Amino acid sequence: MQVGIEQCSVVVPTVGRPSLDVLLDALARAPGPRPAELVLVDDRPTGAPLRPERPGLPPVRVVRTGGGGPARARNLGWRSVRTEWVAFLDDDVVPDPDWYQQLAADLTALSPDVAGSQGRVRVPLPEDRRPTDWERGTAGLATSSWITADLAYRRAALAAVGGFDERFPRAFREDSDLALRVLDTGARLVRGQRWITHPVRPVDRWVSVRVQAGNADDVLMRRLHGPGWRERADAPLGRRPRHLAVTAAGLIAVGLAAARRPRAALAAAAAWAAGTGEFAWARIASGPRDRAEIATMLASSALIPPLATWHVLRGAVQHRRVRPWRGLPDLVLFDRDGTLVRDYPYNGDPALVKPVPGAREAVDALRARGVRVGVVSNQSGVARGLITRAQVDACMARLDELLGPFDTVQVCPHGPDDGCSCRKPAPGMVKAACAELDVDPARCVVIGDIGADVEAAAAAGAAGILVPTPVTRKAEVEAAPRRAATLPGAVEQVLAGEW
Ligand SMILES: [Mg+2]
């Protein structure tokens, strides 16, 4: 099937590095058909708005996370687009001039079981000297699997697995983790023919020490995907066993010295020195061997083994009870009366539409994370002849003024004896809302104040959270699969992935 590039959006998470301008210039200059839009996810906590506009770019939209790391930024980006495909580009790459054409070609004729297409990465290295340790490390990106420097995913595949796992705090392993979870669904990932250039970023001399924090993320990978994760993710173990051995030798030397066993301490210290020296030499031998690089390698080679060990231990503690990532739902549906607003039975007066405390902030918190929101409301007062449909609509309009905009509003005007399929606890309105927004009911949460709300959720295949009021029946409270004391509390649960 022909996939036009207009069925694709480009998502670029950024912290506003100068390299962003280089990327935007390249995207503006490149010929070829434009994707539906370019979404720039500004992940800076503060700062003046970014100015990405340039003639030649696809329609640009900027969304802000307020800061939350690359996984959360990418999640907000893909959640905010509606196209079939989402192409992630990092803000420090330069796409080839034919990138748009090749992207269109890469996405065309992919079978439905292909969930992602990876671009190809080249890392330019200096030609007049051997590459530094950092340059060699960056060059590894050229052969890495499923890195999001340039990777297009089907939006539905991202939604099905809850997107990127936000417990990965830095741009490391979060892309491999996503790929493994997508592959776990039975989908395939393929390599395309489009190319980007990934320049080596200028760094200070301690970068090799700082990146050791990634050892904690490796522990998280193992907890989530089991011992075979490295093979599946194409992530070699490297020197970690040797770092642990060198660190152990150093600690033993210190221990023996403290125990006044100088000879044994000296032997252990010699083992530490030999291991550290071998590590430093291995890094120096492949490099440019100038004074600055040699000094950096000597100092950092002494620091890296104990730091790597420390981060492994830190990760083991931090991630000891980690659960599979669920992510956010794609849609949260609220009951209206008694949940979003105070309950006046059969209310037909817009003046009596009064939000419960914290309702505005709670609904906005979902919107800020890219979760769509809607209303599912039984209004049997219409069938009972107590209020008119026009009054219901006027109250909904008032609700929209106070807490809107909502992505979907579903109303059932029928009575209990009408035999309709929409009146909760029937699943009709939940199903209709999901169908309208193209959301899998399994990725939808219904929040309501009575048993019928959570029963409708369950009948539709959605999750339910009950926020009881003083008039909620005790049996319904006890039967609810999930409960929260307040509406903001329920939304907090959802945002924490507990739904
Ligand atoms: Mg209610």
* pLDDT band of 1, cuts 50, 70, 90: very low
| CATH numbers and ranges of domains, the chain | 5-203 (3.90.550.10), 205-322 (no CATH), 331-495 (3.40.50.1000)
Which of 388, 480, 369 minimizes the C-alpha distance to 63? 369
Mean pLDDT computed over 428-435: 98
With 0-12 / 13-18 / 19 or more C-beta atoms within 10 angstroms meaning exposed / middle / buried, residue 327 is: buried
Could you tell me which of 489, 459, 497, 437 has the C-alpha nearest to residue 82? 437
In the structure, ligand 1 is a single-atom ion and the residues with CB under 5 Å from it are 335, 337-338, 449
Encode 2-30 in three state secondary structure.
CCCHHHEEEEEEECCCCHHHHHHHHHHHC
The two counts, helices (H) then strands (E), for the chain are: 18, 13
**How many angstroms is it from 451 CA to the middle of ligand 1?**
9
How far apart CA 452 and CA 426 sit, in angstroms, is 8
Please name which of 86, 52, 96 lies closest in space to residue 198, comparing C-alpha atoms: 96
User: Is 165 annotated in the active site?
Assistant: no
At 454-493, the pLDDT tens digits run 999 999 999 999 999 998 999 999 999 999 999 999 999 9
Distance between CA atoms of residues 64 and 416, nearest Å: 45
395 CA to centre of ligand 1 in angstroms: 15
Residue 337 bears catalytic tag? yes
Handedness of CA 225, 226, 230, 231 (dihedral sign): negative
pLDDT of residue 328: 97
- pLDDT tens digit sequence for 5-32: 899 999 999 998 999 999 999 999 999 9
The span from the CA of 378 to the CA of 463, in Å, is: 19
Question: What digits encode the pLDDT tens for the residues 214-265?
Answer: 999 999 999 999 999 999 998 988 899 999 999 999 999 999 999 999 999 9
Q: What is the torsion angle, in degrees rounded to the nearest 10, for the CA atoms of residue 480, residue 484, residue 486 and residue 490?
A: -100
**Cα–Cα distance measured from residue 216 to residue 118, given in angstroms and rounded to the nearest whole number:** 26
Q: What is the pLDDT of residues 400-423, one digit of tens each?
A: 999 999 999 999 999 999 999 999
Question: How many angstroms separate the alpha carbon of residue 208 from the centre of ligand 1?
Answer: 56
Q: Report whether pLDDT(69) > 70.
A: yes
Section 302-306 average pLDDT: 95
In degrees, rounded to 5, the angle at the alpha carbon of residue 326 between the alpha carbons of residues 325 and 332 is 155
Please pick, among 90, 335, 449, 453, the residue that the annotation labels catalytic.
335
Share of the chain above pLDDT 90, in %: 92
Rounded to the nearest angstrom, the distance between the alpha carbon of 456 and the centre of ligand 1 is 12
Number of other CB atoms surrounding residue 393 within 10 Å? 14
Cα of 465 from ligand 1 centre, angstroms: 12
| Candidates 150, 330, 337, 453; catalytic one | 337
The Cα 169–Cα 72 span in angstroms is 9
Separation CA 293–CA 439 (nearest Å): 53
**DSSP three-state, residue 55:** coil
Q: Edge to edge, what strands does the sheet with 444-448 contain?
A: 408-412, 372-378, 331-334, 444-448, 463-466
What's the gap in Å between 369 CA and the centre of ligand 1? 25
CA of 399 to the centre of ligand 1 (A): 14
Q: How far is the CA of 469 from the centre of ligand 1 (A)?
A: 9
- Which whole number is the average pLDDT over 94-98? 97
The pair of structure tokens assigned to 99 is 């990138």
d(CA 493, CA 87): 30
Q: Is residue 161 classed exposed, middle or buried when 0-12, 13-18 and 19+ CB atoms within 10 A define those classes?
A: buried
